[in-house]
Chains A and B, each alone.
Chain A
Amino acid sequence: MSRFQSAFAQSRPALVCFITAGDGDTAANLDALVEAGADVIELGMPFTDPMADGPAIQSANLRSLGAGTTTADVLRYATDFRARHPQVPLVLMGYANPMVRRGPEWFADAAAAAGIDGVICVDIPPEEDDALGPALRAKGIAPIRLATPTTDAARLPQVLAGSEGFLYYVSVAGITGKQQAVQASIEGAVARLKQSTDLPIAVGFGVRTPEQAAAIAKVADGVVVGSALVEICGEYGAAAPAKLKELTAALAQAVHSARQEQVA
């Protein structure tokens, strides 16, 4: 059973946490997320031009690059994480250019060696899958695709074909960390997606509080939180792990117990 299957096969929804690699003490920040109950980790690969991200993650990218973070550093954070946490699924998330710079095979080899389970590449849609997808699949790494409010029924099969790991539902048409989707629209979207795929569905974009996370966890298999955690890294720097732990614990509690409350 893959790490994704283990993380999502539980009877409870999963909490997926995103931080940007190289923004503060990455190892300590990642450990804080796992210790506080994160089920899946998304590690952001910094890029100079994060055009799908809002101000919080843009700033994190710039802080990381400003601190001199390289692709080799990102892979080292992943390798070390895998050694410390053998069971926690680890996803690299970022943009095409840093991933394909040395060729897709190089990247897939390096990611596999670092113990990466999946890759989310924001700007490689199914139409350009050749740029990275085949190389990842050949190494057993899941290409994780995004579905959005603009992905209509006619297009969805194309998005699902070749998707592995889980499906990331971007709940708002927009950039990360800005608006929050209306709960009813999320419920409708997840129900529609569930009719078309057996992949676990994680919902993200604009999720900041335990209350929001709990509401989404009632219908989705996973809840993704990014900008709210990244803002903590930016605000607290070296002191971020304790604060990350606090928020992640509250989110994990809310997500993990969301369906119990529903039953009760």
Chain B
Amino acid sequence: MNTHLNSFRTQPDDRGHFGQFGGRYVAETLMPLVLDLEREYRKAQADPAFQAEFDDLLEHYVGRPSPLYFAPRITEELGGAQVWFKRDELNHTGAHKINNCIGQILLAMRMGKTRIIAETGAGQHGVATATVCARFGLPCVIYMGAEDVARQSPNVFRMKLLGAEVIPVTSGGATLKDAMNEGLRDWVANVHDTFYIIGTAAGPHPYPEMVRNFQSVIGKEARAQMLSRTGRLPDLLVACIGGGSNALGLFHPFLDDPSVKMLGVEAAGHGLDGDQHAASLLGGSPGVLHGNRTYLLQDEDGQITEGHSISAGLDYPGIGPEHAWLKESGRVDYTAVTDDEALEGFQLLCRTEGIIPALEPSHAIAAVAKVAPTMPKDSIVLMNLCGRGDKDIFTVAEKLGVEL
């Protein structure tokens, strides 16, 4: 029998497992809901009307397709491969997060749910969730670590303007993972009417698959755009990874194109040799948290440790289970860049292309700056520019020693 893997695009299995990763590690109270969600998602997937409404909103509300942009000056400066960007920072709300929120709120309404909850770290997913709730007139509760509420006050105000209730979470370390714990606690107590919009390709099955599929619009567009513009596929895809939804969105439609290499970029914070980083794949080990088995930052007893990154959006001690599987299968390479390197990537893009990137994709830019010079000039690197940097200018100013 041929056990060779014929496709990298058929995961997860029917139990939500990506190899040994993924699954449905939730309390019994939530289990029937998670099963119901999967059933309803399968029905929606098979319903052309659902897909049509999703596509229509992405086009007319989000502003898709996002441009595929050849970046001439950064290409010239790096002196190697052609550098191209998928411009998901031009989406409504300024990041890729909205693609997933549109999909999930349509599913929530289809299921008759009348109340939306979400967790947020930097606030981008919170803003995107609050946005779709305002658009469809559903009440919205956002859980956000009290530390993050203090650090990200502009996004807190945005969410409130959009009508969301922002609840600061003071339990645990008062950051993203604690906000997710509180989201799960809310959900378990309000199972009858509440839909939990998880912001990344993690959590219990079917979330990792569902979020990946909603975000795959990025890679589908990019693949068609690249073929139409250049008549060929890119040689290397690059994307930053916190939970990993923007990277999966770009990578997944290319997984069965053997000529296309892929590089996921984790946050190395102050460096992988210490504990001040957020690189779950490169600096963590497999474990179970927030409904799935995946790579985690943890101690020898399985206690979860706090991640660190200059980017609040990458500052999570886990990663989507499909990335854990793609790493072990060898299909995708993973690397990590430090806070300082990301800051240089941020400035490089501002200076060469007139684009202020978010600190999350600034990590990917730093990786491109390392790898593009080693590649031939006729090769193509395609990076997902998944968010714009307006939200980060205060952090960057502080790091650069500039007083605003």
| CB proximity to A under 8 Å, residues B293-327 | 293, 296, 298, 300-304
Asked if B25 and A58 make an inter-chain contact with CB atoms under 8 angstroms apart, the answer reads no
**Residue of B26, B33, B189 touching A123 (CB-CB under 8 A):** B26
Asked if A123 and B301 make an inter-chain contact with CB atoms under 8 angstroms apart, the answer reads no
Q: Considering the chains assembled together, what is the distance between the CA atoms of A158 and B191 in angstroms?
A: 21
> Is B185 interfacial (CB 8 A cutoff)?
yes
Give the interface centre of B24, B31, B304 by most chain A CB atoms within 10 Å: B31
With both chains docked as a complex, state the minimum distance between the C-beta of A63 and any C-beta of chain B, in angstroms: 13
With both chains docked as a complex, state the minimum distance between the C-beta of A138 and any C-beta of chain B, in angstroms: 20
> Is B29 interfacial (CB 8 A cutoff)?
yes
Q: Considering the chains assembled together, what is the distance between the CA atoms of A70 and B300 in angstroms?
A: 9
Known contacts A48-B303, A51-B185; A151/B296 CB under 8 A: no
Residue of B nearest to A72 (CB): B301
Asked if A51 and B298 make an inter-chain contact with CB atoms under 8 angstroms apart, the answer reads no
* Chain A residues whose CB sits within 8 angstroms of the CB of B24 once the complex forms: 125, 127-128
> Is B291 interfacial (CB 8 A cutoff)?
yes
User: Could you give, for residues 172-201 of chain B, a 1 whenever the CB lies within 8 Å of some chain A CB and a 0 otherwise?
Assistant: 100001101100110011011000000000
> Is B357 interfacial (CB 8 A cutoff)?
no
Q: Considering the chains assembled together, what is the distance between the CA atoms of A145 and B28 in angstroms?
A: 9
* Chain B residues whose CB sits within 8 angstroms of the CB of A178 once the complex forms: 189
User: Could you give, for residues 118-134 of chain A, a 1 whenever the CB lies within 8 Å of some chain B CB and a 0 otherwise?
Assistant: 00001111011001000
> Is B57 interfacial (CB 8 A cutoff)?
no
Asked if A125 and B28 make an inter-chain contact with CB atoms under 8 angstroms apart, the answer reads yes
* Chain B residues whose CB sits within 8 angstroms of the CB of A47 once the complex forms: 302-303
With both chains docked as a complex, state the minimum distance between the C-beta of A118 and any C-beta of chain B, in angstroms: 16
Residue of A nearest to B180 (CB): A51
> Is A219 interfacial (CB 8 A cutoff)?
no
Asked if B181 and A146 make an inter-chain contact with CB atoms under 8 angstroms apart, the answer reads no
| CB proximity to A under 8 Å, residues B13-40 | 15, 23-33
| CB proximity to B under 8 Å, residues A31-68 | 47-52, 54-55, 58, 62, 65
Q: Considering the chains assembled together, what is the distance between the CA atoms of A17 and B246 in angstroms?
A: 46
* Chain B residues whose CB sits within 8 angstroms of the CB of A151 once the complex forms: 28, 31-32
Asked if B25 and A96 make an inter-chain contact with CB atoms under 8 angstroms apart, the answer reads yes
Asked if B302 and A97 make an inter-chain contact with CB atoms under 8 angstroms apart, the answer reads yes
Q: Considering the chains assembled together, what is the distance between the CA atoms of A148 and B185 in angstroms?
A: 15
> Is A147 interfacial (CB 8 A cutoff)?
yes
- With an 8 Å Cβ cutoff, the count of chain A residues facing the other chain is 42
> Is B90 interfacial (CB 8 A cutoff)?
no
Q: Considering the chains assembled together, what is the distance between the CA atoms of A70 and B301 in angstroms?
A: 7
Q: Considering the chains assembled together, what is the distance between the CA atoms of A139 and B178 in angstroms?
A: 35
Asked if A148 and B28 make an inter-chain contact with CB atoms under 8 angstroms apart, the answer reads yes
Count of chain A to chain B residue pairs whose CB atoms are closer than 8 Å in the complex: 118
Q: Considering the chains assembled together, what is the distance between the CA atoms of A106 and B128 in angstroms?
A: 44
> Is B106 interfacial (CB 8 A cutoff)?
no
Interface range, B side: 35 or more
Q: Considering the chains assembled together, what is the distance between the CA atoms of A41 and B179 in angstroms?
A: 31
| CB proximity to A under 8 Å, residues B269-299 | 287-291, 293, 296, 298
Residue of A nearest to B25 (CB): A123
> Is A261 interfacial (CB 8 A cutoff)?
no
> Is B11 interfacial (CB 8 A cutoff)?
no
**Residue of B25, B27, B304 touching A146 (CB-CB under 8 A):** B27
Asked if A150 and B298 make an inter-chain contact with CB atoms under 8 angstroms apart, the answer reads no
* Chain A residues whose CB sits within 8 angstroms of the CB of B25 once the complex forms: 96, 123-125, 128, 131
* Chain A residues whose CB sits within 8 angstroms of the CB of B293 once the complex forms: 131
Residue of B nearest to A127 (CB): B24
Asked if B287 and A100 make an inter-chain contact with CB atoms under 8 angstroms apart, the answer reads yes
Asked if B23 and A127 make an inter-chain contact with CB atoms under 8 angstroms apart, the answer reads yes
**Residue of B29, B290, B304 touching A173 (CB-CB under 8 A):** B29
> Is A175 interfacial (CB 8 A cutoff)?
yes
* Chain B residues whose CB sits within 8 angstroms of the CB of A65 once the complex forms: 303
With both chains docked as a complex, state the minimum distance between the C-beta of A68 and any C-beta of chain B, in angstroms: 11
**Residue of A62, A123, A127, A148 touching B172 (CB-CB under 8 A):** A62
Known contacts A49-B181, A174-B188, A175-B185; A101/B302 CB under 8 A: yes
> Is B171 interfacial (CB 8 A cutoff)?
yes
**Residue of B33, B172, B189, B300 touching A48 (CB-CB under 8 A):** B172
Q: Considering the chains assembled together, what is the distance between the CA atoms of A27 and B189 in angstroms?
A: 33
Q: Considering the chains assembled together, what is the distance between the CA atoms of A98 and B31 in angstroms?
A: 21
What are 8 A-B residue pairs whose CB atoms fall within 8 Å in the complex? A49-B304, A51-B184, A51-B185, A96-B25, A122-B27, A123-B288, A127-B23, A173-B191
Give B residues with C-beta under 8 Å from A.
Answer: 15, 23-33, 171-172, 177-178, 180-181, 184-185, 188-189, 191-192, 287-291, 293, 296, 298, 300-304
Known: A49-B181, A96-B288, A97-B289. 4 other contacts (CB 8 A): A52-B27, A97-B288, A100-B287, A131-B23
Question: 7 closest Cβ contacts across the A-B interface?
Answer: A101-B302, A174-B189, A98-B302, A96-B288, A97-B302, A51-B181, A148-B29
